[in-house]
Structure 1
Amino acid sequence: MNYGIFQWINDLAGRYPFLDKAMIFITDSVPYVVILFMLFLWFTANKEKRMEKQYTAIYIVFTVLLGLGLNALIHAVYYHPRPFITYDVHQLVPHADDSSFVSDHSVLVFSLAWTLFLRKDSWKYPVLIWAILVGISRIFVGVHYPADVIGGALLTLGASFVIIKFSNKLEPVVKVLFNIYNKLTKHIPILAKYSH
């Protein structure tokens, strides 16, 4: 079933140039979109919601770190060959032949989505839709199976739940991060206004 769904999605690659370019753009732009969204969370909220948004950004970072750490452990003990290693696929982007399960891209984008959901942020639905599109793009371009994407989504659901559940335990670390930010930006007026 995993390969069957992969084949159904990946077989669309190479047929429609515009769709190929769109999927490549979605998959390649992930790190840049994540950075821009984090900056958006940190700097654009009005004064009443600024602290809430900045806490959300920090919890996203914690979730990403936990998710990627857990994924590194999975990769260390379990190797699953990527689709282009095992099968003749439409591979639209270059990729190392490391383990396919779990998808780092999925860990990254679903860390945002689930944290926003658990924090009841107004951006939760658009970001979830974007995360799903990213997951589909990883299958479309031929570097991941559906199970890799679903695994990333489930892994980060657990990671984000842990981070939010134990957020009170992380408060001392958050305070240190805010103090560092305040010290670094206190002499930069455009940034200092976003400090606490």
Structure 2
Amino acid sequence: MNYEIFQWINDLAGRSSFLDRGMIFITNSVPYVVIAFMLFLWFTANKEKRAEKQYTAIYIVFSCLLGLSINAILHLVYYHPRPFVAHHVHQLISHPADSSFVSDHSVLVFSIACTLLLRNDSWKYPVLVWAIIVGISRIFVGVHYPADVIGGALVSYGTSILVMQFSKKLEPLVQLVFYMYKRLTEHIPFLAKYSYRGLS
């Protein structure tokens, strides 16, 4: 089933240069979109929402770090060959032949989506749709199986729940982030106006 679904999606590659370029762009742009979205969360909220949005951004970082750490351990203890290693596929991007399960990209984007869902953020549904499209793009370009993407989503959901469940215990780390931001504002004063604490 895993390979059959992979074939169904990956066989769409090579039929339309427009679709190919779009999927390549989506999959390659993930790190930049993530950074841009995190900056958006931190800096664009009004004063009433600023604390909520900045806490959400920090929880996203915690969930991503935990999820990627779990993924790194999985890659060390279990090797699953990527589709382009085990089969003849339409591979649209270059990629090392490391373990396929689970997808780092999926862990990253679904950590954001799941945290937003659990925090009931206004961006939860658009980001969830984006995360799903990113997951599909990883299959489309030939570097992941559907199970890799689903596994990444499940890891992210688990880490996001853990972060929210232990949010009170994580508060000292959150305050450390705010303290570091305060120190940064001492060198870049205009950033102070973006803190809900009014560090000016």
Match of 1:154 in 2: 154
Report the alpha carbon displacement of residue 177 of structure 1 after superposing the two structures with TM: 1.0
- Where in structure 1 are there 5+ consecutive unaligned residues? none
Helix, strand or coil for the counterpart of 1:167?
coil
Q: Does 1:92 align with 2:107?
A: no
Match of 2:116 in 1: 116
The one-letter code sitting in structure 2 at the alignment partner of 1:44 is: T
* C-alpha distance in 2 between matches for 1:99 and 1:55: 33
Report the alpha carbon displacement of residue 24 of structure 1 after superposing the two structures with TM: 0.1
Count of equivalent residues: 196
Report the alpha carbon displacement of residue 20 of structure 1 after superposing the two structures with TM: 0.1
Match of 2:194 in 1: 194
Report the alpha carbon displacement of residue 148 of structure 1 after superposing the two structures with TM: 0.1
Report the alpha carbon displacement of residue 187 of structure 1 after superposing the two structures with TM: 4.5
Deviation track 1:147-189 (CA, whole Å, cap 9, x = no partner) reads 0000000000000000011000000111111011011113534
Deviation track 1:21-75 (CA, whole Å, cap 9, x = no partner) reads 0000000000000000000000000001001100000000000000000001111
* C-alpha distance in 2 between matches for 1:27 and 1:105: 8
* C-alpha distance in 2 between matches for 1:88 and 1:125: 35
**What percent identity do the matched residue pairs reach?**
74
Task: Provide the alpha-carbon RMSD of the alignment.
Answer: 0.7
* C-alpha distance in 2 between matches for 1:188 and 1:66: 30
Match of 1:8 in 2: 8
- Where in structure 2 are there 5+ consecutive unaligned residues? none
Q: Normalising to structure 2: TM-score of the pair?
A: 0.97
* C-alpha distance in 1 between matches for 2:180 and 2:132: 35
Match of 2:79 in 1: 79
- The 5-angstrom pairing of residues 96-107 of structure 1 reads 96-107=96-107
Q: Normalising to structure 1: TM-score of the pair?
A: 0.99
Runs of 4+ aligned structure 1 residues displaced above 4 Å come to none
* C-alpha distance in 2 between matches for 1:14 and 1:147: 23
